[in-house]
Amino acid sequence: MELSIVTTLFYSSPYINEFYNRISKSVKKITDDYEIIFVNDGSPDNSLEIAVDLYKKDQKVRVIDLSRNFGHHKAIMTGLRFAKGDKIFLINCDLEEAPENIREFYRKLSENPDFDVIYGIQEVRKGGYFNKIIGEIFYIVLNLLSNLTLNSKMAFSRLMTRQYVKNLLKFRESELFLPGLWDLTGYKHDTITISAYHKGRTSYTLNKKLALIVNAVTSFSDKPLIYIFYIGIFISFISGLFGFYFVFRKVILGDVLTGWTSLILSLWFIGGLLILFIGTIGIYLSKVFIETKRRPYTIIKKKYNKTSTEETDNENA
């Protein structure tokens, strides 16, 4: 098969039919040997029913129904695992990035056979002013705390060769942060500039965004642990200096310093640091605990595939 299109579903019912019509029209101008894979990530709305209706009408459509909501990145990795194309196009179906861009991605990759990935760069980062600022800060901090070099305007759409996807799928950790894995996989890549639109709401709540930040930093960097060590040394050194100073004032000058305010502030400050440090170490330990269990990151409830019957499939991904 020449080309696979992979997308995920979560509260996607308003967009699926338009996405399907636009992506189908565009990909037919490239090749007739293609498939469209919808991965239903436990969507509470009727996204699955709409996708299954498309599957019944079009033999190019495949649907993978997960047993529950596992998360966007894990659903994507599951879809990539079942893609059969020599080239795989990854895109969200919410129409924030135009499905018609696939032709530009395909043209650029075809003209540059030495490359394995073509991904989009947003002209202007999508979202409101607050989200743009938070996004910029997130990528700056992540790049500083890790060996990653991620562009804050990196779009989700990307066209990848099968070789690249095959090696991307070798990462089997339970806590996934896809932009980091894309960078770690390596290979030669290039970019195209695209427009991204903001639909006004997102399924990424504040709690999910915060969890994503913590997961990204702790998955790709041990620098927080190293910084804790250095901060501990610094505090011990400063405390030693103050201790020597107070002894000097008592023994040499005969002066006893009093000050409940400074004492309480010091206790609160050191106590806060200890809680922060213990919490940081706890996050790393929890990730080790989760990874050692070797649990599958998704469970497939059913696959809808024209090459096989519609049957329940509890195959782990």
End-to-end CA distance of the chain: 22
| C-alpha–C-alpha distance, residues 79 and 183, integer Å | 19
- Locate all alpha helices (DSSP H) within the chain, ordered by sequence: 16-27, 47-57, 72-82, 102-111, 129-145, 162-168, 178-185, 206-220, 223-251, 260-293
Residue 200 DSSP one-character state: S
What's 101's DSSP letter?
G
User: What is the C-alpha to C-alpha distance for residues 108 and 118, in angstroms, rounded to an integer?
Assistant: 7
CA–CA dist 150, 259 (Å, integer): 49
β-bridge mates for residue 189, sequence order? 117
Q: Are 115 and 188 in contact (CB under 8 A)?
A: yes
Angle between helices 206-220 and 129-145 (to 10 degrees): 20
Both structure tokens of 134:
């938070």
Dist. CA 270–CA 275, nearest whole Å: 9
Burial of residue 139 (number of CB atoms within 10 Å: 0-12, 13-18, 19+): buried
Helix, strand, coil shares of the chain, percent, nearest 5, are: 50, 15, 35
Across 29-38, 114-123, 266-275, least confident range: 266-275
- Residue 63, by phi and psi: left (phi above 0), alpha (psi -120 to 50) or beta? beta
Contact 196, 155 (CB under 8 A): yes
Average pLDDT over residues 285-311: 70
How sure is the predictor about 200, in pLDDT bands with cuts at 50, 70 and 90? low
Beta strand 61-66 with 87-90 is unpaired
User: What is the C-alpha to C-alpha distance for residues 77 and 168, in angstroms, rounded to an integer?
Assistant: 9
Q: Which of 42-56, 109-123, 230-244, 264-278 is modeled with the greatest confidence?
A: 42-56
Length of the chain: 317
Q: Residues 70, 75, 78, CA angle at the centre, nearest 5°?
A: 125
* pTM over the 0.75 mark: no
CA atoms of 268 and 274, how far apart (whole Å): 10
Segment 142-193, tens digit of pLDDT: 777 777 777 777 788 899 999 999 998 888 777 777 887 887 788 888 888 8
- pLDDT at residue 175, as a whole number: 72
pLDDT tens digit sequence for 56-109: 988 899 999 998 888 888 888 899 999 998 899 999 988 888 888 898 899 888
CATH of the structural domain 3-220+295-312, one choice from 3.40.50.2300, 3.40.190.10, 3.80.10.10, 3.90.550.10: 3.90.550.10
Give the pair of three-digit tokens for residue 292.
């050692």
Domain with CATH 3.90.550.10 in the chain: 3-220+295-312
| Pick from 19, 21, 151, 164: nearest CA to 88 | 164
